[in-house]
Amino acid sequence: MARVSDAKRPLVETRDVRVDYGDLTAVHDLTLDIHAGEIAGLIGPNGAGKTSLMRVLATLLEPTYGQVTLAGIDALAHPRRAHPHIGYMPDMPMVPSDLTCREFLMMFAGAYGLEGDDQTQRVKQCIDEVGLSAKTDAMASTLSMGMRQRLVLAKTMLHKPSILLLDEPASGLDPLARIQLRDTLRRLAQLGCAILVSSHILSEMSDLCSTVCIMDRGRIVHRGRIDDLVRQMDGLRQFTIRLVGSASAAAHFLREHEHVESVHEEDARLRIVFTGDDVQAAALLGDLVSAGHKVISFAEKSVGVEDLFLQLHSAGAANGGGASP
C-alpha cells in the first residue's frame, strides 16, 4: 500500500477548494483533512456538493481554485502521480457490457501495473473479498445492482490505494454485504487507509465512520468525531416515553414542563426533546407518574448522525441560510 513518509501529515488535504457550475457554487472554499486510519463520513442533502468534492479528490473534476494534496502529492499539478494512491467508487457504479468480472478486474489490475501471477492473485483476492467468487466468469452486465457495486468496489481496492473515496458505497447492497463492506473498510482503515465515505443512509454512517463532515450548500458546516458533535449539541437529549392508553393528556402535561422543548406524539408513545440534566429527567419522570399517567417505559434515545444533521439543517434554515457552523 502506498504510504507517505510523514505519518503525521493527513493523507487527504484540501485547502480553499471551490467548484463552480455556471452561477452555482457547488463547493465553497472548502478545507478538509483526512488522516491515515480515519473513516470520514460525508453527509449532506442532495446538491450539498458531496459528489463534486469526491470528483475533485479523485482528480476527475478541476476545481475553480484551491489546493488538493493526496498522499503528499499535489494532485492538481501531478494527477498521474497521485492516481496510484486513489481508489474511487462513484455513486452509480457501472460496468462494461462486454467483459466478464475477471476480465474487467484483470484489465484494471494491468492498468495499475500488476503483471503475471501478481495480477491473477490480486484479482482473485479482491473478488473473494467482495464475495463475488461464484460470479468470476459471469458477464459483468448480467450482475444485479448490488453485485455490480461489489465488483466496482473490488476494482477500487485492486491496487491497494491509501486513499479510498466511496460515493454511496452501500446504497445497492443487501444487509449481509453491508456488514461485509463495513468490516472491509474498518480493516483497511486499520491498515492505514484514509477513507472518505459519502452516504445518505445516515444510521449507517454512525456505525461505520470515526468522523463525520456535514456538508450543506458547498460548505462543511460541522466536522469532527460523532461523540464530540453530540456533545456540541447543547441540551439535545431525546426521550421516548411509552404509556398505557392515550398519550394526549401526558403530552399536554409535558408541554407545560420547563425543560421540555418539544413533544412529538405517536399513538401511545411520546418523543420529547429535553434540555435538563439527569436529575431533572428523573424529576420529570416522577412528576409524570404522580400526575396519574401510566408510564410503561421512559428511555433516552441515543442521538444519531441523522438527528444531528436534521438539527443542524433546521437551525440553518431558521437562520435564513444553510446550516451554520
Smallest distance from another protein to CB 243, Å: 52
Q: In terms of CB distance, is 68 or 185 closer to another protein?
A: 68
CB of 212 to another protein, least distance (A): 23
Residue nearer to another protein on the CB measure, 150 or 293: 150
Give 2 or 247: the residue with its C-beta nearer to another protein: 2
Contact 276, 259 (CB under 8 A): yes
Q: Which residues pair with 39 in a beta bridge?
A: 195
**Comparison of 77 and 179: residue with beta carbon closer to another protein:** 77
Pairing mode, strands 211-216 and 39-43 = parallel
End-to-end CA distance of the chain: 36
- Helices then strands (H, E): number in the chain? 11, 14
Q: Rule CB under 8 A: which residues touch another protein?
A: 15-16, 18, 20-23, 29, 58-62, 64-67, 76-81, 83-84, 86, 88, 90, 92-100, 103-104, 106-113, 115, 155
DSSP states along 18-41: EEEETTEEEEEEEEEEE-TT-EEE
Output the smallest distance, CB 155 to another protein, in A.
Answer: 7
Residue 61 to residue 51: CA distance in whole angstroms: 10
Nearest CB to another protein, comparing residues 157 and 212: 157
Least distance CB 113 / another protein (angstroms):
7
Alpha-carbon span 19 to 25, nearest angstrom: 6
Residue 54 beta carbon to another protein: minimum distance, rounded to whole angstroms: 11
Q: How far is CA 10 from the centre of its chain?
A: 18
> How far, CA to CA in Å, does 324 sit from each of 60, 67, 81, 227?
29, 24, 37, 19
Instruction: Establish how many alpha carbons lie within 13 A of residue 277's alpha carbon, considering only the half-sphere containing its beta carbon.
Output: 1
Residue closer to another protein (CB basis): 65 or 231:
65
**CB 71 to another protein: min, Å:** 13
Residue 247 sits at the vertex; the CA angle it makes with 246 and 250, to the nearest 5 degrees, is 130
